[in-house]
Structures are given as structure tokens and as C-alpha cells.
Amino acid sequence: CRVHHYKFNVVMKNSTKLCSTKPIVTVNGMFPGPTLYAREDDTVLVKVTNHVKYNVSIHWHGIRQLRTGWADGPAYITQCPIQPGQSYVYNFTITGQRGTLLWHAHILWLRSTVHGAIVVLPKRGVPYPFPKPHKENVVVLAEWWKSDTEAVINQALKSGLAPNVSDAHTINGQPGPVSGCFSQGGYTLPVKSGKTYLLRLINAALNEELFFKIAGHKLTVVEVDATYVKPLKTDTVVIAPGQTTNVLVTADQNAGKYLVAASPFMDAPIAVDNVTATATLHYSGTIASTPTTLTKPPPQNATAVANNFIDSLRSLNSKNYPAKVPQTVDHNLFFTVGLGINPCPSCKAANGSRVVASINNVTFVMPTTALLQAHFFNISGVFTTDFPGNPPNVFNYTGTPPANLATTRGTKVYRLAYNSTVQLVLQDTGIIAPENHPVHLHGFNFFAVGKGLGNFNPKKDPRKFNLVDPVERNTIGVPSGGWVAIRFRADNPGVWFMHCHLEVHTTWGLKMAFLVDNGRGPNQSLLPPPSDLPKC
């Protein structure tokens, strides 16, 4: 196994999109940032140096970080941020994982421009469980605001209202021509007739799930969130922020140019956003003037298209890649996720109130000392372990919301015994509006064993759970006005963040953390922190 050394310099850089220029926070001056390559079982050391005015931290989204929570990255959860002028070396080993993941800033809204791909290849000599592609391409999808994204969220927090939606989406950093700025270029994906390509799709957007489509071409999904799936043929992929999807595409159409489109999916759109990012699939040898064949992206609220795709995904569950679904449950948890309204005397625009978000009615309050440090060094007063395992007030989650929409505030964690098995039902409350919440769990992969619309029925619904080959992920959409059930084994000691990967909801408080105790055996406890761990 090899050791890879990377240098990530966080620097400002001017970037021009949509015919206007603004300074953005980047890694090494790139948007999207550099791709991190490794193989399964390799060790990666990334020295992150902060040259900007903001505090910074980087998260390696989906990397399990077995016993190395110190390298996970969420600010004030596993580490204090890297202050301006300081650096920190993220040191981790990639155990039992291969596939596409992403890295991104995990503080403020810096993720909007500070993100990039992680490509973990199988161990040397181990083939993919699908035909070897001619070439592989990383395709990073994201959002772009004309204004500074920190200003966008700060203004929203002041007003108590929701922030503006982005001005465009991007495919590998480029929106393609959009109304008002037709000179804007687009990404080109070169292909050769008859060859098959592996596209490593990543949704690095802040707040929007996206549909991805290529005109005239079928996509075969072979992996999601760095876990292999049964090959799934589809016209359209739907991908939530934080999720990754590997697809095979064969250049089997008439030579020419074909439109590639990334467009928003919001099943209950509060804000209208019809902006589609475009790129071009270009057969080599085709004359540039050949017109692009058009593709119609699904409408913004095409819930059926999205559900049809999501519900069809299954773990590969082969001899070499068995789905290790926990068959028994030690912790049976039920968490509501959704929005709420709290008083805010200074929020004039929202009539003295503000939109908040919560899990089991707890709006998470960020601590000023990292939870993992408080846990490891036994610092009291940073968090409490009374996060409720069930909703304190039961109500009809998908019907009329309760009269009182206020939430409680606190820095609460839920404690799990080492190696215990967890079943967690995540129920959308539909308060203010039903919304699809892509929930991400740090430190683990989980199996999505069940999903449904309306209120979860604890008597009937578990009978229909798939405990054989459910899809394994690190980020799952809680359906709008419905629920999803996940299972995982708490075999990674430490403090692990769980939150909605729509950044606006995270900011509003849709987040919590699990504290997993050390085991008693060898190699079952959290390792001590590295000496350069940032101080608060």
C-alpha cells in the first residue's frame, strides 16, 4: 500500500462566470479543486494551509475514517478550524472502500467553491465488477452565485428568510451558455465511436439535487457513494448534494455532438429555479458546426422520475462484495427532520421570526470547542448526551402541522455502544413545506432498507424492509412528505456528524451527532489526536 502526499493551499482566486468576475475561495486556485487519487488500503496525507481570511476545514465525504475521526473535518465537530496562516495535515487510511467520493470545505458556505473529487481505485490487480471502460472522467456538478456566497447566507440569517437560489449550475466548473450570457463556455467530454466511458458524477452543489442526462444515450449506473450496485440502465440520474454516482456510457450513436444537462430537482419547490447547466459529449472527428441534439431535462418537480431512479438501486451483493446488512437491531431510533419557526425580534423582514430546522425538534447549536476533543479529553459543558431517540411530541407529520412550530436548542449527541446495530427511521415533517432532505452520516455507510410516503407505520412498514440487497450509501434523500429507514453498525468509535446536505438546512440547525464509545478489544478505540490538531 502506498502513501500519497497532497498539498492543499486555500487561496483566493478571481473567477469569471455568467459574464461577471468575483473573487472566490479555492484550493490551489482551482474550481472545482484538484482530484485526490488513491487505491483501497492506501494512506493519504493532505497538508491544508489556510491563506484566506476565513477559518477553514476540509471534510473527506464518505471516507470512513476508521478510528481517525481527527481527520474527518467538520468544524467544531471533530476539529477546531484551521485559522488564517495555519496548516493541518489530514492523515487517514482508506480501509475497505473504493469508488468515487468528494472532499469539501466543512465550515460556513465555503463548500460552494471549495470542493473536488476523490477517486479511490481498487487494490492493484483487482478488476471492477463491470467491463473495463476505455476511459474515466470525473464530472463535478455544482452551483454558482454571482454574489459572494457568505454574503448570501449572512443576509438570509439576518432577515430570518430563506437565501436566494443560485444563479446557475456548473458541470466541471462551467455553466454552458445561459440566458443573458451566451458567450459562457461549456465543458466538453470527448469520446470515440464505439468506446465505453466511466463517468464519476459528483453533486457538490450547496442546496440543490440535480437531474443528469445525456441526449440520445443510455446511462448504466454501476456504483453510488463508493459502493457497487447492480447495473441499472436509465435515461436520467438524480443525484443529491454529497452523493456520487458512477455511470457507464457507450458512444453508440451517430457521430456528432450531444447535449449533457444538469438541472434542478426539488419536489416541492419553494423557489423556482429552471436553470440548466449544459456540456457537450463530442464524438472525435465530428466537425464542430454539427448541431447538438437536444435533450429535455425533467421539470423541476419531476418526483416520479426521481423516485423511479432512487427506488431501483440495489447493492451488488455478490460473493466478492456482499451486502453486510445488520439483521438485528440494538438501537431502534426514529428521527423527524424538517423545518420550524423560532422567534427573532431583530428579523423584521420575517415579522420577528426566523426559519429554523431541527431533528426531533432539536435545533443543533454549534459548540465553540470541537465535540471530539471534548469527548477525548473529557471536557465537560460542551455537549450533553440527551439527544432524544424518538420525537418528544408526536404529531401527524405529513398532515396539518402543530400550532407551535418552535424548536428547542441544544448541543446534544446520541450515544451508541461500540459495535451495536442501529435502525434509524428518518421522517420528513412537512412543516412549512414538505421537502426532500438528503441526510448524510459521517463515519459510516448505511443500508437504505425501507422507504415510504406519509407517516411511518412501526407495525406494518418494517415487514417490507429489504434486508438482503438494499443500496448502501452515505447520503440518502428523506422523501418529501415521507420516510426512509437505514441500518448501520456502530463499529467506528468517535463523534460523527449527521446532517441534511442542503447547506441552508444545515445552517438552520438540521444536524446532530452520534457518539460511539470505544470497544474493549484491541484496535477498537479512537486513536489519539495528531500533534498539529488545530486549537480553538
* Residue closer to ligand C2O (CB basis): 59 or 412: 59
Where do we find the cell 473504493?
A: 98
Angstrom CA distances, 206 to 36, 105, 417, stand at 21, 11, 33
CA-CA-CA-CA torsion sign (151, 152, 155, 158) = negative
Closest CB to ligand C2O: residue number = 61
Give Cβ neighbours of residue 285 (< 8 Å, ≥ 6 apart).
193, 255
Least distance to ligand C2O, CB of residue 202, Å: 11
Report the relative pairing of strands 475-478 and 437-441 from DSSP bridges.
antiparallel
Least distance to ligand C2O, CB of residue 498, Å: 8
Query: What is the spatial distance between Cα 206 and Cα 216, in angstroms, rounded to a whole number?
Result: 29
* Residue closer to ligand C2O (CB basis): 473 or 501: 501
DSSP 399: S
Least distance to ligand C2O, CB of residue 193, Å: 37
Least distance to ligand C2O, CB of residue 295, Å: 29
Which residue in 17, 59, 67, 200 binds ligand C2O (CB under 6 A)? 59
Least distance to ligand C2O, CB of residue 441, Å: 9
What are the strands, taking DSSP E only, across 206-317?
209-214, 219-224, 227-234, 236-239, 244-250, 257-265, 277-283, 292-293
Please identify, among the stretches 170-178, 281-289, 453-461, 494-502, the one whose residues bind ligand C2O according to the rule CB under 6 A.
494-502
- Cα 334 to chain center, whole Å? 21
- Cα 428 to chain center, whole Å? 18
* Residue closer to ligand C2O (CB basis): 213 or 505: 505
Q: For the window 360-399, what string marks contact with ligand C2O as x by the rule CB under 6 A?
A: ----------------------------------------
* Side-chain half-sphere CA neighbours of 410 within 13 A: 16
* Residue closer to ligand C2O (CB basis): 243 or 276: 243
Which residue in 200, 440, 451, 487 binds ligand C2O (CB under 6 A)? 440
Residues in the chain: 536
Least distance to ligand C2O, CB of residue 103, Å: 9
For residues 175 and 186, the answer to whether their CB atoms sit within 8 Å is: yes
Asked if residue 497 binds ligand C2O (CB under 6 A), the reply is yes
Least distance to ligand C2O, CB of residue 171, Å: 20
* Residue closer to ligand C2O (CB basis): 255 or 366: 366
Least distance to ligand C2O, CB of residue 502, Å: 11
* Residue closer to ligand C2O (CB basis): 456 or 497: 497
Restricting to residues 259-318, name those near ligand C2O by CB under 6 A. Answer: none
Please identify, among the stretches 92-100, 418-426, 464-472, 496-504, the one whose residues bind ligand C2O according to the rule CB under 6 A.
496-504
Q: Which residue type is seen at 79?
A: Q
For residues 412 and 371, the answer to whether their CB atoms sit within 8 Å is: no
Asked if residue 74 binds ligand C2O (CB under 6 A), the reply is yes
Which residue in 67, 169, 375, 499 binds ligand C2O (CB under 6 A)? 499
Least distance to ligand C2O, CB of residue 475, Å: 7
Report the relative pairing of strands 135-144 and 168-171 from DSSP bridges.
antiparallel
**What's the grid cell of residue 197?**
466511458
Angstrom CA distances, 503 to 109, 191, 209, 226, 268, stand at 7, 35, 12, 22, 17
Restricting to residues 103-162, name those near ligand C2O by CB under 6 A. Answer: 104, 106
* Residue closer to ligand C2O (CB basis): 278 or 506: 506
DSSP 178: B
* Residue closer to ligand C2O (CB basis): 241 or 326: 241
Give Cβ neighbours of residue 340 (< 8 Å, ≥ 6 apart).
355, 356, 357, 358, 361, 363, 405, 406, 407, 431, 432
Restricting to residues 224-253, name those near ligand C2O by CB under 6 A. Answer: 242
Least distance to ligand C2O, CB of residue 472, Å: 17
* Residue closer to ligand C2O (CB basis): 71 or 215: 71
Give the bridge partners for 355, in sequence order.
Answer: 341
Least distance to ligand C2O, CB of residue 499, Å: 6
Report the relative pairing of strands 482-489 and 494-500 from DSSP bridges.
unpaired
Please identify, among the stretches 359-367, 387-395, 495-503, 522-530, the one whose residues bind ligand C2O according to the rule CB under 6 A.
495-503
Asked if residue 442 binds ligand C2O (CB under 6 A), the reply is yes
Residue 5: name the closest of 44, 57, 48 by CA: 44
Within 10 angstroms of residue 304's Cβ, the number of other Cβ atoms is 10
- Interface size with ligand C2O, residues (CB under 6 A): 11
Least distance to ligand C2O, CB of residue 108, Å: 13
For residues 280 and 260, the answer to whether their CB atoms sit within 8 Å is: yes
**What's the grid cell of residue 85?**
496562516
Please identify, among the stretches 11-19, 217-225, 351-359, 497-505, the one whose residues bind ligand C2O according to the rule CB under 6 A.
497-505
Which residues make up the interface to ligand C2O (CB under 6 A)? 59, 61, 74, 104, 106, 242, 440, 442, 497, 499, 501
